[in-house]
Amino acid sequence: MTEQDVRDVLNGRRAQAARNDGAILAAARKVFVAEPDAPIGAVARAAGVGISALYRRYPSKEALLATLCLDGLRQFVAIAQTAREVTDPWEGFVEFLRGIVDADVHSLTVCLAGRFTPTPEHRALAMQAGALADGILRRGQQVGAVRADIESTDLPMIYEQLAAIRHSDAEHIRELRRRYLDVHLAGLRAVAISYGELTGRPPTQAELGARWNRTT
């Protein structure tokens, strides 16, 4: 058994399949985060496998999306729980938002919702996620760090706005999102307290102008 396991790790049909499991899920995440209604063939290509390798694991596109979304929700909960451990309420709030935005969890959850029939598990996790976020927000408000006229239903709108930033490659997107999250945070800070310098650089003229250059 041991010897076989070792072989399985390196080559062997079964090991390859196991590796494909991860590759497919990772590719799906990348593809669907970038383009929520990408064709399923794009996922296969990104994973470097054929379409059938994909259908062997998920009976339909919908099932794949549902799985992906479930992952996203779990990630959301994990991020929120980590942020809750931070002692300073404001710091925790900031870490929470940064975590959500960096991991692009919003694209994995809300942007995918509506494209598959949610299971009770989806709903339960979504509710838990909401409750956690609510707690983090309230804690920040109670110590006067976060402005009081924000409600927990405002938070998804913040993620949504930041998730709408979709320029070029993933690396650059993260940088831009962090920049504008800083603006949001400055706006969310309780009255008359500045949050600090912006991080990252704004987009360049060339990047923005690219949209006007189609010639086909």
CB nearer DNA, residue 53 or residue 113: 53
The angle at the Cα of 36, spanning 113 to 205, to the nearest 5 degrees, equals 130
Q: Does 160 bind a copy of itself (CB under 8 A)?
A: yes
The first and second tokens of residue 107, run together, are 């694209």
The verdict on 116 binding a copy of itself (CB under 8 A) reads yes
Interaction between residue 176 and a copy of itself (CB under 8 A): yes
Q: Which stretch binds DNA (CB under 7 A): 35-43, 174-182, 192-200, 202-210?
A: 35-43
178 binds, among DNA, a copy of itself, none (CB under 5 to 8 A by kind): none
Q: Is 13 in the site for a copy of itself (CB under 8 A)?
A: no
Q: Would you put residue 48 in left (φ > 0), alpha (ψ -120 to 50) or beta?
A: left
CA dihedral 6, 8, 12, 16 (to 10 degrees): -130
Q: Which listed option, DNA, a copy of itself, none, makes contact with residue 20 (CB within 5 to 8 Å by class)? A: DNA
Q: Does 50 bind DNA (CB under 7 A)?
A: yes
Q: Which of residues 128-157 bind a copy of itself (CB under 8 A)?
A: 147, 149-151, 153-154, 156-157
Q: Which does 187 bind (CB under 5 to 8 A by kind): DNA, a copy of itself, none?
A: a copy of itself
> Which one-letter amino acid corresponds to residue 161?
Q
Distance in angstroms (rounded) separating the CA atoms of residues 67 and 63: 6
Q: How far is CA 142 from CA 1, 100, 139, 213, in A?
A: 58, 22, 5, 50
For every residue of 10-55, which 3-state class applies, written as one string? HCCHHHHHHHHHHHHHHHHHHHHHHCCCCCHHHHHHHHCCCHHHHH
**Contact positions toward DNA, by CB under 7 A?**
4, 7-8, 11-17, 20, 37-41, 48-53, 55-56, 59-62
Binding site for a copy of itself (CB under 8 A): 110, 113-114, 116-118, 122-123, 126, 147, 149-151, 153-154, 156-158, 160-165, 176, 179-180, 182-188, 191-195, 197-198, 202-205, 207-209, 211-216
